[in-house]
Structure 1
Amino acid sequence: MKRAAVVKRVALNGAGLLVALFAAFPVYWMISTSLKPNREIFSTTPRPVPANPTLEHYREILTGDLIPGVTFVDFFLNSVLVAAATVLLSGLVALLAATAVARFRFRLRTSFLIMLLVVQMIPLEALVIPLFLMIQRLGLYNTLPSLILTYLGFSLPFAVWMLRGFVAAVPKELEEAAAIDGASRAQTFRRILFPLVAPGLVATSIFSFITAWNELIFALTFINDQDRYTLPVAMTFFFGRDDTAWGSVMAASTLLTVPVIIFFVLVQRRMVSGLVAGAVKG
């Protein structure tokens, strides 16, 4: 029986390792290609490891102008601004909305929750024209706030629905005990509810960040001036009609991936922490 358990564990670990390797291979190939000179990239005999590693593609995209007067760093800063604003606003609004839905009873509460699910079923591409007309009427066309508001709308349904479960799991007795001790509603929210809901807030922040960081269609539709493009749109500059600068594409893709990894590393400890970690503190 013990031997069967060991065999099962080895089989599961082996299967998990294969899946991990399968998922990581495209990332490895992207980084490997970004370090290859053009003659190796277009060679008829692909090499998994660069024979003559070079950073020329990184130097090209970081020091050269993708368009006159605008560098890769400018597009990077645009993406950072949009993603950071989306994460902060979606986290704040979603947390307040989830608290209201989980703690209070009001008319059409169930309908509101159902609408959160229905909204997520709508293909985003079907919303391009209606949102474009709305952005124009608001006078936000060709501005970064138009992207922030759009991504905020995409992130909120998922964030509110997920955070509602975290808020509902927090015992009301903790808040009642804090109220008996003289804590105000704001103090109870800040010192009791917020620490316990933080893991869910981190998870929704990751979703909001990735949504804002990787989105292309709406960024290409709502922004007209090239110096206001975000990184996914800037990536299209490397694709020409007759050829594609694959070395630059892979180098830019690697740099595009780094902030996502850094953000996840910074928040992953909080994400996996226990839901009631703050409840045992004195």
Structure 2
Amino acid sequence: MRRRSFRPSNVLWTLLALTVSVVWIIPVYWMLNSSLLPNVILQRTTPTLVPTGGSLDNYAGVLDDSSFFQALSVSLAVTLLTVVAAIAIAFLGALAVSRFRWRGRKSFILALLLIQMLPAEGLFIAQYKMMSALGLLNQVLGLAILYTAAVVPFTIWMLRGFVAGVPIDLEEAAMVDGLSRTQAFLRITFPLLAPGLVASAVYAFLQAWNEFTVALVVMTEEQARTLPLWLRGFLQASAMRETDWGQVMAASTLVAIPVIAFFLMVQGRLSSGLVGGAVKG
């Protein structure tokens, strides 16, 4: 049995990875720790690193605010619409770019790159006027349309690589065995694209769930606020009196929970490979 040779460089890279992981996780731990502590302890000059004697009172205070559940329902609806629409549109666009040769194809690909270079702030006035003219201000559908338009170009680029990585020979071989082109695509190619679809869905979900500036422009009414807007309003309301940082951290944790839950649901697909799927098929 061969022993692995000891390399100092491997140890250094491992230590570097651990250091980066610790630096990344400290803010998350600080948020969770603070959400369990009362405001009196958080205002001390000496930080409390372990929530000894902590409680869930801060979470109870946040959940007592009925506007939280209203904002949660708005964010869930907008995010779901954005993910479904973005994946459907980007999937068809990626297929068209990767599998077919048509006039204007290179110009279309170039346009995708140029769209990504446009600053979002430069579109606010046009977006507001467009939503106002369509009667979609403070509407879930209106915000979902804007989010979908922002997410689709990059999502097409993501899926384009996955589609191009699946050999078209697999479909042709299935067609030789008697399947139609549609059947070959659905039974052979589509399952192999699952990791790409999941990765694109995660990207669209994160963009729609965490977006703040566009929602601030087109969702001006209180009942139409998304969770990021609600969190800002919650912080401002706290600032009018003595800021309760425990509740602010508890609110931030509650906003982050759906993102973590969604990632845990799909992380198995993210880690699976296209080649493995092809071999199993």
Q: TM-score range by the shorter chain?
A: over 0.9
Amino acid at match of 2:253: T
Question: Alignment partner of 1:30: what SS?
Answer: helix
Counterpart Cα distance in 2 of 1:172 and 1:9: 39
CA RMSD of aligned residues (A): 1.7
Question: Alignment partner of 2:193: what SS?
Answer: helix
1:81-160 superposed matches below 5 A: 81-160=77-156
Counterpart Cα distance in 2 of 1:77 and 1:5: 54
Counterpart Cα distance in 1 of 2:24 and 2:40: 27
Task: Say whether residues 1:248 and 2:258 are aligned partners.
Answer: no
Counterpart Cα distance in 1 of 2:69 and 2:45: 33
By how many angstroms is 1:76 displaced? 1.1
Counterpart Cα distance in 2 of 1:106 and 1:7: 53
Runs of at least 5 residues in structure 2 that lack an aligned partner in the other structure: none
The aligned residue for residue 68 of structure 1 is none
Amino acid at match of 2:46: T
The aligned residue for residue 26 of structure 2 is 25
The aligned residue for residue 57 of structure 1 is 58
Deviation string 1:100-137 (CA, Å, 9 cap, x unpaired) is: 11111111100111111111111212211111111112
The aligned residue for residue 182 of structure 1 is 178
Counterpart Cα distance in 1 of 2:145 and 2:209: 14
Deviation string 1:72-120 (CA, Å, 9 cap, x unpaired) is: 1221121111111111111111111100111111111001111111111
Structure 1 residues 244 and 115, CA gap change in structure 2 (3 angstroms): farther
Task: Say whether residues 1:271 and 2:270 are aligned partners.
Answer: yes
Task: Say whether residues 1:235 and 2:236 are aligned partners.
Answer: no
Amino acid at match of 2:139: T
Amino acid at match of 1:278: G
- The farther-off stretch of 268-277 and 184-193 is 184-193
The aligned residue for residue 41 of structure 1 is 42
Q: Is the 8 A contact 1:238 1:244 kept in 2?
A: no
Counterpart Cα distance in 2 of 1:181 and 1:10: 52
Structure 1 residues 14 and 141, CA gap change in structure 2 (3 angstroms): same
**Percent identical residues:** 45
Q: Is the 8 A contact 1:95 1:160 kept in 2?
A: yes
The aligned residue for residue 189 of structure 2 is 193
Amino acid at match of 1:14: L
Aligned pair partner of 1:173 in 162, 169, 172: 169
Amino acid at match of 1:8: S
Counterpart Cα distance in 1 of 2:245 and 2:114: 40
Deviation string 1:164-223 (CA, Å, 9 cap, x unpaired) is: 111112111111122223323332222122111111111111110000000111112111
Aligned length: 276
Counterpart Cα distance in 1 of 2:137 and 2:234: 25
Counterpart Cα distance in 2 of 1:184 and 1:146: 39
By how many angstroms is 1:279 displaced? 2.3
Deviation string 1:237-267 (CA, Å, 9 cap, x unpaired) is: 2223544332221111111111111111111
By how many angstroms is 1:4 displaced? 7.9
By how many angstroms is 1:139 displaced? 1.9
Counterpart Cα distance in 1 of 2:30 and 2:136: 39
Amino acid at match of 1:267: V
Counterpart Cα distance in 1 of 2:233 and 2:108: 42
Deviation string 1:40-89 (CA, Å, 9 cap, x unpaired) is: 11112111122330211100111234xxxxx3122112111111111111
Q: Tell me the TM-score normalised to structure 2 length.
A: 0.93
By how many angstroms is 1:3 displaced? 9.8
Amino acid at match of 1:202: V
Question: Alignment partner of 1:276: what SS?
Answer: helix
Q: Tell me the TM-score normalised to structure 1 length.
A: 0.92
- The farther-off stretch of 227-236 and 181-190 is 181-190
Counterpart Cα distance in 2 of 1:77 and 1:200: 28
Q: Is the 8 A contact 1:238 1:245 kept in 2?
A: no
By how many angstroms is 1:6 displaced? 3.3
